[in-house]
Structure formats: structure tokens, C-alpha cells
Amino acid sequence: MGVSLRICSLLPSATEIVFELGLSDRLVAVTHECDYPLEATRLPVITMSGQGPLTWRQPLGKNSPTAIYQYKSQPAPRHSLFISCNV
């Protein structure tokens, strides 16, 4: 039995594409910038922005992603959430 696809989107346009492809049920988390479609705002937000640099929220536990969509120019995530899911 294969691993179920669980997507974390760190890119608003990727979030929109996931919804358009009908894969919203596979989306387990989004970034604080993902606000469209409206259903995306009901998902766990994995990042937050404040006065300082971007910070990571707590891990998702059993819903840790198996795929992370991000900008190609972004450095690979080094937060414990991503390390724990071998991303």
C-alpha cells in the first residue's frame, strides 16, 4: 500500500491550482498568504508573518505533508516539520 498524498502549499498560486485540479481533499496546510479560494482559509496555516522574518507554526502531527509546493528560488525548508517528514 502506498503513502497517501498530503500536500502543503507555501505558494498561493499552487494552492489555487490544487483546488482547480480537484485535489483540495489532499491539501493539509497552506501559508499565511493563501486566501483564495475561500476554502483555503479554512485549512491549517503553517507559516505566519509579523514584524520580523517569516516564522513556522507547530507541526501537523499525523497530517504531516508528503509533498510541499514552494517557490523554486526558496531554500529547502529546514524546520523540524519538514525534516520529520523527510522533505
Alpha-carbon distance 76 to 61, whole Å? 20
Alpha-carbon distance 24 to 38, whole Å? 12
Question: Model pTM greater than 0.75?
Answer: no
| 47 is a domain residue | yes
Which domain range does residue 24 map to? 7-84
| 74 is a domain residue | yes
Alpha-carbon distance 85 to 87, whole Å? 6
pLDDT of residue 84: 41
| 52 is a domain residue | yes
| 23 is a domain residue | yes
| 1 is a domain residue | no
Is it the case that residue 7 has pLDDT exceeding 50? yes
Alpha-carbon distance 12 to 35, whole Å? 7
Average pLDDT score over the chain = 75
Q: Give me the number of domains the chain comprises.
A: 1
| 30 is a domain residue | yes
pLDDT of residue 20: 94
- DSSP track, 6-40: -EEESSHHHHHHHHHTT-GGGEEEE-TT---SGGG
* Per-residue pLDDT tens over the stretch 11-50: 899 999 999 999 999 999 898 889 999 999 999 888 776 6
